[in-house]
Structure 1
Amino acid sequence: MTSIATQLDTVVARIRSSCHQSNRKPDGVKLLAVSKRFKADAVQQAFAHGQRAFGENYVQEGVEKIQQLAHLPLEWHFIGPIQSNKTKDIAANFAWVHTVEREKIARRLNDQRPADMPPLNVLLQVNVSNDPAKSGILVEQIDALAQCVAEQPNLRLRGLMTIPAVDLSPEQLAQDFNTMRMAFERLQQGFDSCDTLSMGMSGDLELAIANGSTMVRIGTAIFGQRTN
Structure 2
Amino acid sequence: MNPVKIIQSIPAQVTLIAVSKTRSIEEIHEMAKLGISTFGENRVQELKQKYDPAYHWHMIGHLQRNKVKDVVPLADMIQSLDSLPLAEEIEKQCAKIDKVMDVLIEVNSSKEASKSGVAPEEALSFLAACMSFPHLRVRGLMTIGPNIDDQEQIKACFTSVYQLYQEAQARWPQIDTLSMGMSGDYEIAIACGANMIRLGTILFGERN
| 3-state DSSP of counterpart to 1:207 | helix
The answer (yes or no) to whether the contact 1:127–1:139 under 8 Å persists in 2 is yes
Once residues 8 and 114 of structure 1 are traced to their aligned partners in structure 2, the CA distance between those partners, rounded to angstroms, is 39
Q: Which digits, 9 at most, give the CA deviation of each residue in 1:195-220, with x for residues without a partner?
A: 01100111111111000000010000
Select the structure that is richer in helix: 1
Instruction: Output the TM-score relative to the length of structure 1.
Output: 0.87
The answer to whether the aligner puts 1:208 opposite 2:189 as a matched pair is yes
Match in the other structure for 2:63: 82
| 3-state DSSP of counterpart to 1:28 | coil
The answer (yes or no) to whether the contact 1:90–1:109 under 8 Å persists in 2 is no
Match in the other structure for 1:142: 123
The answer to whether the aligner puts 1:57 opposite 2:42 as a matched pair is yes
The amino acid of 2:41's aligned partner reads E
- Residue 8 (structure 1) shift: 2.9
- RMSD between superposed Cα atoms in Å: 1.5
| 3-state DSSP of counterpart to 2:148 | coil
The answer to whether the aligner puts 1:184 opposite 2:179 as a matched pair is no
Query: Which consecutive unaligned segments of at least 5 residues does structure 2 have?
Result: none
Match in the other structure for 2:178: 197
Once residues 111 and 127 of structure 2 are traced to their aligned partners in structure 1, the CA distance between those partners, rounded to angstroms, is 19
Q: Which digits, 9 at most, give the CA deviation of each residue in 1:138-181, with x for residues without a partner?
A: 11111221122211111100100101221151111111111111
Aligned length: 208
| 3-state DSSP of counterpart to 1:94 | coil
Once residues 187 and 148 of structure 1 are traced to their aligned partners in structure 2, the CA distance between those partners, rounded to angstroms, is 13
Once residues 144 and 28 of structure 1 are traced to their aligned partners in structure 2, the CA distance between those partners, rounded to angstroms, is 28
- Residue 226 (structure 1) shift: 3.2
| 3-state DSSP of counterpart to 1:13 | helix
The answer (yes or no) to whether the contact 1:91–1:110 under 8 Å persists in 2 is no
Query: Which consecutive unaligned segments of at least 5 residues does structure 1 have?
Result: 1-5, 16-25
Instruction: Output the TM-score relative to the length of structure 2.
Output: 0.95
The answer (yes or no) to whether the contact 1:91–1:114 under 8 Å persists in 2 is no
| 3-state DSSP of counterpart to 2:2 | helix
- Residue 10 (structure 1) shift: 2.1
Runs ≥4 in structure 1, deviation > 3 angstroms?
Answer: 114-118
Once residues 96 and 150 of structure 1 are traced to their aligned partners in structure 2, the CA distance between those partners, rounded to angstroms, is 15
> Identity rate of aligned residues, in percent?
35
- Residue 59 (structure 1) shift: 0.2
